[in-house]
Amino acid sequence: MVNAFKTAGFRLSDGAAWNALWTGLIRPSKLKHMNEFQKLNHFAGAWNIGHKGNLWRNVQRQRRRNGRDFELAPNTYIFPEDYKRWQNDREINNFKDMYILKPTASSCGRGISVIDKKQQVKKRSGYLVSKYISKPHLLRGYKYDMRIYILVTSFEPLKAYFFEKGLVRLATVPYSTAKGTLKKRFIHLTNFSVNKKNVDYKKNVGNGQAPVETDEVEMSSKWSLEELRKEYTKMGINFEEVFRNIKLLCIKTLMAVEP
């Protein structure tokens, strides 16, 4: 990154006269002294989308204003302020739902656990619980997620670019919610940082080609979106329609934090 700037004619500066700042999230105290020619690598207030608790608050605000059009995520409760409401909602629903507990400001699967229907959870600051999607769509019996890359260059007007290539990350143990399986992270978490530690993790050596199928249905633990497209075709799923909905969801999420 530094070499790219140098090649473009920039030089390092320690003073206030700078054009580009590559940094972490900017503090308001520094933001208010910037001029129109100075550019950052982060939007001011990016923590409103990068922090799980703030993201839910913003989505909920749009949900209250616009109704079902902004039902983008399962019901979520931020601790400690929503703890009592969560307890009440569980009782009203006769403890029929499972939940997933996550730190609001962490990554790589750290601190995540699945909560059984009647399992008690302490009021822990810095955590949230979301209704668990206990019947997810599976790939050959495994839970999976998609890592979609989006570059946002402007919020006013909103300009977002979707990268055509993305990742599909699979769990490394077949999915189950049977008794005794909820604490098994290789079943319920799809994070690469978690599943790479499992002896059953399989590298994708196909260079973007579909995984090689044998009588034992060998399958890698990380796919490309093109591999997913081929699998969806086999399953009779319209890949393009799914991704139109995913793009719409991403746009609405960005809209939720525009203010």
Looking at the DSSP bridge assignments, the partners of residue 77 are 129
Tokens 């009782």 belong to residue: 91
DSSP string across 27-72:
PHHHHTT--TT-EESS-TTTHHHHSHHHHHHHHHHHHHHHGGGG--
Q: Locate the domains of the chain by residue range.
A: 1-44, 47-134, 137-259
What is the pLDDT at residue 206?
64
The pLDDT tens digits for 58-80 are 999 999 999 999 999 999 999 99
Looking at the DSSP bridge assignments, the partners of residue 102 are 128
pTM: 0.83
Q: In angstroms, rounded to a whole number, what is the distance separating the alpha carbons of residues 117 and 138?
A: 22
As a CATH number, domain 47-134 is: 3.30.1490
Q: Within the chain, how many helices (H) and strands (E) appear? A: 9, 12
pLDDT tens for each residue of the chain, 259 residues long: 889 999 999 999 888 789 998 888 888 788 888 888 998 888 888 889 989 999 999 999 999 999 999 999 999 999 999 999 999 999 999 999 999 999 998 888 898 999 999 999 999 899 999 999 999 999 999 999 999 999 998 998 999 999 999 999 999 999 999 988 999 999 999 998 999 998 888 888 764 444 444 333 357 899 999 999 999 999 999 999 999 999 999 999 999 998 8
Percent of the chain surpassing pLDDT 70? 95
Tokens 């009203």 belong to residue: 92
8-state DSSP, 221: S
Beta strands in 181-237 (DSSP E): 222-224
